């Protein structure tokens, strides 16, 4: 796969956009509306985590945004110690404002590129990553993050992802891009559809579901599960 990454947004450009989008990412009931089935995927990922790790104490939310996934997780496994990571400080501040009153556990903020996180191995029961891994670029970045998450988890801990994906077959990729385009047009019209595609092309370098399931296996996850897929979005994960 050849990709000209220089054409894509830098971390600083991504951070600036998300700094100004806090309220849009703060709706626990709808999630991000540009994501098909956002509420369903949030429920499925947190349900899966709660079923696999009902006694969890330590949660890491990568690319946490305004904290929706952690808030939903706390409804199912209360009083977690919540470690929240994001590039955007306003997002992190909003997440802490919403999460701190809900849990008796600690709330730790990490404003940094997810690839740079320095955290203890074998520490977390649950790791969540919602619509964030698609910002990774080359194969080395993807392998690094999946290895990092595996190392951070306790034995029996689980990793749950909901994200934008591509497809390995060009014709199928085109099919689902068309379906997503129709969804966007129904949501906000042709101009809105064009705007969303423009920032996807600028900011995002998603990989296929097959690619990411393969990485889960390569780094050592013993159980790998697909929770949901609709067009260019999927929810999936694994148990260490």
CA 25, CA 58: separation in Å to the nearest integer?
A: 23
Helix (H, G, I), strand (E, B) or coil at 160: strand
- The pTM score is 0.91
What's the pLDDT at 33?
82
CA 40, CA 239: separation in Å to the nearest integer?
A: 21
Residue 81 has φ and ψ, to the nearest 5°, of -80, 120
Q: How is the chain split into domains, by residue range? A: 5-239
Alpha helices, DSSP H, located in the chain: 11-19, 38-52, 68-76, 89-99, 139-152, 170-188, 190-203, 209-219
Helix (H, G, I), strand (E, B) or coil at 127: strand
Tokens found for residue 181:
């385009």
Q: Tell me which residues of the chain have a pLDDT lower than 50.
A: 1-6, 19-20
157 and 239 in contact (C-beta within 8 Å)? yes
134 and 234 in contact (C-beta within 8 Å)? no
Query: What number of residues does the chain have?
Result: 240
CA 1, CA 130: separation in Å to the nearest integer?
A: 24
What's the pLDDT at 43?
97
Give Cα 191 distance to the centre of its chain. Answer: 26
CA 134, CA 37: separation in Å to the nearest integer?
A: 17
CA 117, CA 169: separation in Å to the nearest integer?
A: 34
Pick the CATH number of 5-239 from 3.40.50.150, 2.170.130.10, 3.40.50.720, 3.20.20.70: 3.40.50.150
100 Cβ contact list (under 8 Å, min separation 6): 107
| pLDDT tens per residue across span 25-73 | 656 665 578 899 999 999 999 999 999 999 999 999 999 999 999 999 9
Tokens found for residue 110:
């990490």
184 DSSP assignment:
H
134 DSSP assignment:
G
Max CA-CA distance within the chain? 50
Residue with tokens 């619509």, as numbered in its chain? 131
- What are the angstrom distances between the C-alpha of 181 and each of 35, 145, 186, 234? 12, 29, 9, 16
């Amino acid at each position: 796969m050849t990709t000209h990454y220089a054409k894509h947004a830098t971390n600083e450009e991504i951070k600036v956009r998300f700094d100004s989008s806090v309220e849009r990412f703060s709706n626990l009931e709808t999630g991000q509306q540009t994501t098909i089935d956002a509420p369903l995927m949030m429920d499925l990922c947190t349900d899966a985590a709660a079923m696999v790790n009902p006694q969890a104490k330590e949660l890491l939310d990568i690319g946490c945004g305004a904290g929706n996934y952690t808030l939903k997780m706390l409804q199912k496994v209360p009083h977690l110690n919540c470690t929240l990571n994001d590039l955007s400080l306003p997002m992190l501040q909003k997440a802490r404002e919403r999460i701190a009153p809900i849990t008796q556990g600690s709330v730790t903020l990490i404003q940094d590129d997810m690839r740079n996180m320095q955290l203890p191995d074998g520490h977390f029961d649950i790791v969540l990553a919602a619509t964030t891994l698609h910002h990774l670029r080359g194969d080395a970045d993807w392998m690094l993050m999946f290895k990092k998450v595996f190392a951070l988890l306790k034995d029996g801990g689980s990793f749950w992802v909901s994200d934008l994906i591509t497809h390995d077959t060009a014709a199928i990729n085109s099919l689902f891009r068309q379906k997503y385009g129709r969804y966007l047009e129904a949501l906000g019209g042709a101009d809105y559809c064009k705007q969303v595609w423009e920032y996807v092309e600028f900011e995002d370098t998603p990989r296929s579901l097959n690619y990411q399931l393969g990485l889960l296996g390569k780094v050592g996850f013993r159980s790998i599960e697909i929770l949901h897929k609709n067009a260019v979005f999927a929810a999936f994960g694994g148990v260490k």
